[in-house]
Amino acid sequence: MMWPGDGPWPASAAGPVTAAALLAAAVIIVRLFFVPRLQPSSGTKRRGAESGASGSARLPAGSLGWPLLGETPAFILAAYSARPESFVERRRLLYGKVFATHLWGSPAVVSSDPEVSRAVLQADASAFVPWYPRSLMELMGRSSILVLGGGLQRRVHGLAGAFFKSPHLKARVTADMHRRVARAMAAWRRPGAAPVVRVQDEAKSIVFEILVRALIGLDEGHEMQYLRQQFKEFIAGLISLPVKLPGTQLYRSLKAKKRMTNLIQKIIQEKRKRRIAECEDPHGTHHPPRDMIDVLLGNGSDELTDELISDNMIDFMIPAEDSVPVLITLAVKYLSECPQALQQLEEENMELKRRKSGVGETLEWTDYMSLTFTQHVITETLRMGNIINGIMRKAVRDVEVRGHLIPKGWRVLVYFRAVHLDAAVHDDPHAFNPWRWNKERADVMTGGGFTPFGGGQRLCPGLDLARLEASIFLHHLVTNFRWVAEEDAVVNFPTVRLRRGMPIAVTPRT
């Protein structure tokens, strides 16, 4: 994820015009006569990030760009264009797949090299820690899994991963999705002209309700509506100027977070009371965890305080409101533009529907996950769509990664997008081609060439769930409707989304 508004932006333009003009002139002169260009430094003995490795590490070549601003303006300009990866591609031609730059107020190394990216993802907190913009850190809080390191991060990650992967949860999510998708789609069957549906909005409200139920056990109703409203206000501040004065977005978002925290902590306290009552009742039955809060409470660790649990439940809602719905929306867009893929997807899903209804069975989560072509469509959407463009880390010491020196305090941008769209890794990378995944691509999968869910210790614990929810939505869409898509465009910055929310005119299949 890339964010504006955090680096040392130029001081406010409120100063006298003459001062501004002088400053601009000074910047131009500095730019003309002094553009810090980094040549690879001569080899220095450094400690290695890779276990036990040490050797001659070189600072990658590159340019630190403008004084103060660095290369952030060029990065943002590219990010707003149709080819955000052009920033990296241009520098890759000049300096190589790993280069130095200056982004968001700090010198940084950018990796578009699969092996270097993989090594950074796999390094632990003794080498790199996550880095996020100030506004995001402020909203997340210190106990967020996104910023936690060491044993506590591993514990929360492990508990979340085990819960999200559990067959019990997947079965429940599948049943919930069936009910919720059927209700949404029933509303699309109005007689008369084909209704226009915005896939992004529909997917957001469905996925949010399903994931919030899995996280905190809240059912549909007015508290769910309240939470969603507050969450929308909260998420708007994640990418905002780091100023928290009344009237600013960050201030409103912090207030919204407080209201969400109150609601979630009330739920936690009720659950704690119920657990105590169950333990004291000699005839009481033991229930398996119904939601993520149950899992964290059941761990019995004093470190998992109410505050840590509620903060993390809010963080976990971000993929529910953002990443998964965007995955679904992008898949619909790419399928609309590739009739051959849409036809094969329809055939695969119609065949499953016929087979199951023929014997009077309902669809299980395993049925969806075993749809080979549907999974290829999702994999290809993740590759092309780059819902998370990349992640940033900060070096806590001088680190050597495959011969590259990343000095202490520098950021590393592991830029997934440039690897996913690199012709050296994926043939004809800008073409939507789900069939490319027919071939066994173990080298790409394990070698850092395909990392939409990150990797290493922070590999996304919700990856199966994301695929499952996308598969269920697509199944119900293609087996119940045909559609004509309206024109829409992908926006990549500051987060990936469809400009118009992907409007499609749907007609029920007869």
Residues near ligand HEM (CB under 6 A) are 130, 145-146, 153, 157, 160, 164, 211, 316, 319, 323-324, 327, 387-388, 391, 452-454, 458, 460-462, 465-466
The residue number whose beta carbon is nearest to ligand HEM equals 462
Helix (H, G, I), strand (E, B) or coil at 219: coil
CB of 323 to ligand HEM, least distance (A): 4
Closer residue to ligand HEM (CB): 243 or 445: 445
Closer residue to ligand HEM (CB): 153 or 336: 153
Closer residue to ligand HEM (CB): 420 or 458: 458
Which residues lie closer than 8 Å to 369 by C-beta, 6 or more apart? 375, 464, 467, 468, 471
**b/e string for 73-110 if b means 16 or more Cβ within 10 A?**
ebbbebbeeeebbebbeebbeebebbbbbbbbbbbbbb
Count other C-beta atoms under 10 Å from residue 464's C-beta: 18
Closer residue to ligand HEM (CB): 95 or 416: 416
Q: Determine whether the annotation assigns residue 338 to a binding site.
A: no
DSSP conformation letters of 140-190: H-TT-TTT--HHHHHHHHHHHHHHHH-HHHHHHHHHHHHHHHHHHHHGGG-
Handedness of CA 114, 119, 124, 127 (dihedral sign): negative
Check if the beta carbon of residue 97 is closer than 8 Å to that of residue 401: no
What backbone phi and psi angles, to 5 degrees, belong to 106?
-145, 145
Q: How many CA atoms lie within 13 A of 195 on its CB side?
A: 13
Q: Which tokens go with 379?
A: 């994999």
Given phi > 0 = left and psi -120 to 50 = alpha, else beta, which region is 497?
beta
Q: Which tokens go with 232?
A: 């929308």
Closer residue to ligand HEM (CB): 74 or 392: 392
Q: Is the N-terminal amide bond of 429 cis, ω within 30° of 0?
A: no
CB of 473 to ligand HEM, least distance (A): 12
CB of 160 to ligand HEM, least distance (A): 5
Check if the beta carbon of residue 317 is closer than 8 Å to that of residue 211: yes
Closer residue to ligand HEM (CB): 69 or 328: 328
CB of 379 to ligand HEM, least distance (A): 11
CB of 79 to ligand HEM, least distance (A): 17
Closer residue to ligand HEM (CB): 306 or 315: 315
Helices 372-385 + 323-336 axis angle, to 10: 100
410, β-bridge pairs: none
In this structure, are strands 411-415 and 106-111 parallel, antiparallel, or unpaired? parallel
CB of 10 to ligand HEM, least distance (A): 29
Closer residue to ligand HEM (CB): 106 or 122: 122
CB of 84 to ligand HEM, least distance (A): 16
CB of 114 to ligand HEM, least distance (A): 15
- Binding site per annotation, positions: 460
- Binding site per annotation, positions for heme: 460
